[in-house]
Structure formats: structure tokens, C-alpha cells
Structure 1
Amino acid sequence: MAHKKEHLPEKICPVCGLPFTWRKKWEKDWDNVKYCSERCRRNKKMKTTK
């Protein structure tokens, strides 16, 4: 049975500026998730201003 993913929480990545949505692996730690990917987390010192 397929599930609709219309109402998932969303955040904006401070490094790349792109929106990203909640993922199952972040279920217990969603409040502390700041970056959309490991790559952005590693490059957090290179913030881009858009």
C-alpha cells in the first residue's frame, strides 16, 4: 500500500538554501537536523548567500 507524502515537515538547508523534507531516519532527532545532506554538513563553513 502506497503512502502519500504530502504533509511531511520541511526545513531549509542553511548551506545550499534548498528545502528538504522529513525522513524516517531523522524521526527521533528531527528538531536537531539542520542540513539536507552529509555533503552540506561537511561544507557548513562555506555558507552561500542567495
Structure 2
Amino acid sequence: MAHDKPNLPQKICAACARPFAWRRKWARDWAEVRFCSDACRTGRYAAAKGGLDPGGGKR
């Protein structure tokens, strides 16, 4: 039996607006999942786009 990855449910990330697919670790709480990654969940994605620190941040 082949693995049918294209048939997994998808959502749109609340932070970056990109689609992401269901993962086994989210099986119990898929209804509450809103973000595609920890970076989006914690707001690091907005900082990388320049939303929080226009000066460029630490180097």
C-alpha cells in the first residue's frame, strides 16, 4: 500500500498564510492547530520580515 501524502488535510498558517499539512503529532488536537511551526507560533516569523525590529536585530 502506497503512502498518499497529497490526501492529508491542510490548513493555512495564521502567521505566514502558507498552507501546511496534517502531521501525526497533531492528531489529538488538529482542530486547535493554527500555526505551521514554532517560529510562526512564537512570532519570530514577523521579526524576520521586519515587523518588530526594522534595524536588523542582533548579528
Place the TM-score, normalised by the shorter chain, in its bin: 0.7 to 0.9
| Distance (Å, rounded) in 2 between the aligned partners of 1:6 and 1:15 | 23
For structure 2, the 5+ residue unaligned runs are: 50-59
Aligned residues with identical type, % of pairs:
50
Give runs of aligned pairs for residues 4-43 of structure 1, distance below 5 A: 4-43=4-43
Structure with higher RCO (Cα < 8 A, 6+ apart): 1
Structure number with higher helix proportion: 2
- Structure 1 length normalisation: TM-score? 0.78
AA matched with 2:19: P
Q: Which runs of 4+ in 1 moved over 4 A?
A: none
**Which residue of structure 1 aligns with residue 54 of structure 2?**
none
- Structure 2 length normalisation: TM-score? 0.68
For structure 1, the 5+ residue unaligned runs are: none
